[in-house]
Structure 1
Amino acid sequence: MEIMKKIIVLLVIAFFFSCKEESKTPVSEINTEVENVSEIIKDSVLIEAKEIIAPKTIKQIQEELTSKGFKTFDYVDEKTKDTVLMQQYFMAFLKKGPIRGQNEEEAAELQKLHMQHLKKMYNMGYADISGPFGDDSDMRGVTIYNVPTLKMADSLANSDPMVIAGRLIIELHPWWAAKGFPLR
């Protein structure tokens, strides 16, 4: 028993002396390790937070859209028995305009401004998809506006620099699509 006490005392003393030794790990490595652990913790917390948030119900989405002025309706799919929420969008057909005599440099500048406009509409959440048609007909492209009124869609579509210059004209139509169904 006496030997055991001496061994424990020696271990405790050795432990205290080992704790007093200076760290041999450079501070930069410690900082990097702390940053890595912080990122892991942050990612873990974000994942847990995402798991806690419940998805919105069809009714909640419909109420939210209606409160913003969107037209909606829902129906029950006979086969799946799922409730499908439909929302009104506005499809803007871009057609050749009456003023197409711009020189190559002017046309290129208008195209650049046109693309900036479409990107801005997308980034602001007003347009969900835009693109040109693949032939050389009078119908040049389409943009689908995700806004509550025809008046707003008309204003946004007609603020396109190509339309202002007369190189394109807009033809707008209300269009219905199911919420949550992606293109494929």
Structure 2
Amino acid sequence: MMKKIILPLLCVLLLGSCKNETKQGNQSVDEMGLKETDTIIVEVPAVPVKKSIKQIKEELTAKGFKTFDYVDEKTKDTILMQQYFMAFLKKSEIHMQNEEESERLQKLHLEHLSKMYELGYADISGPFGDDGDIRGITIYNVPTLKMADSLAKSDPMVEAERLEIEIHPWWAAKGYRLR
């Protein structure tokens, strides 16, 4: 508690001293009551604080996410599972736009997906490599199906009825990456 008060106070005093020095010209460091060897030490953890499975689960639950955990038989590690929502972007029957309009919508579609990722609502998006009815997926990292549906339906390609949305709850281990 004391560090929280002293450190900002020292910063204010030092800033004030610097301003006084420039206003008063050649005032020496000793006249301001400071020594050239005075330093401020700020403690910064070298490694980010790692949260426990219990802490992560409590934070997710408080935000409305569904979770469960289990113990891995081989490693005896506790694995935290979180519910995500997988949105399938499906080809629609409507293709009335010309090439210019299609390019404009595609640009807006990609901007929308980037925004969803930047805001933390989507963890991964991408198209499929074939020309099937399912054109791509987006995995939404939000607490409810209603929220995932709303975000998916705000995609300009969906609003223009070029793509249709089908969403399913999907469970994945928290913190694991694709390989």
TM over 0.5: yes
The two structures have a TM-score, normalised by structure 2, of 0.75
The equivalent of 2:33 in structure 1 is none
| Equivalent residue, structure 2, for 1:50 | 46
- Partners of 1:92 and 1:129 lie apart in 2 by 11
Residue number in structure 2 paired with 1:160: 155
Q: TM-score, normalized by length of structure 1?
A: 0.73
Contact 1:97 1:163 in 2 (8 A): no
The equivalent position to 2:81 in structure 1, one of 86, 90, 97, is 86
CA shift, 1:100, in A, is: 1.2
Instruction: Please report how far the alpha carbon of residue 97 of structure 1 lies from its aligned counterpart in structure 2 after TM superposition.
Output: 1.3
After superposition, give the CA deviation of every residue in 1:112-143 in whole Å (9 maximum; x if it has no partner): 00000000000000000000000011110000
Counterpart for residue 36 of structure 2: none
1:148 positional shift: 0.0
Aligned residue number for residue 23 of structure 1 = none
Larger helix fraction of residues? 1
- 1:117 partner SS: helix
User: Over residues 15-56 of structure 1, what are the superposed CA-to-partner deviations in whole Å (9 max), with x where a residue is unaligned?
Assistant: xxxxxxxxxxxxxxxxxxxxxxxxxxxxxx78x5233x5310
The separation in 2 between residues aligned to 1:114 and 1:108, in whole angstroms, is 10
Q: 2:146 — aligned with what?
A: 151
| Secondary structure of 1:111's aligned partner | helix
The number of aligned residues is 139
In the alignment, structure 1 residue 67 sits paired with structure 2 residue 46: no
Find runs of 4+ consecutive structure 1 residues off by over 4 angstroms. Answer: none
- Unmatched 5+ residue regions in structure 1? 1-44
- Equivalent residue letter for 1:71: K
Task: Give the structure with higher Rg (CA).
Answer: 1
Alignment map for 1:104-123 (pairs within 5 Å): 104-123=99-118
Alpha-carbon RMSD across the aligned residues, in angstroms, is 1.5
Q: Secondary structure, in 3 states, of the residue corresponding to 2:88?
A: strand
Distance across 1 between alignment mates of 2:160 and 2:133 = 17
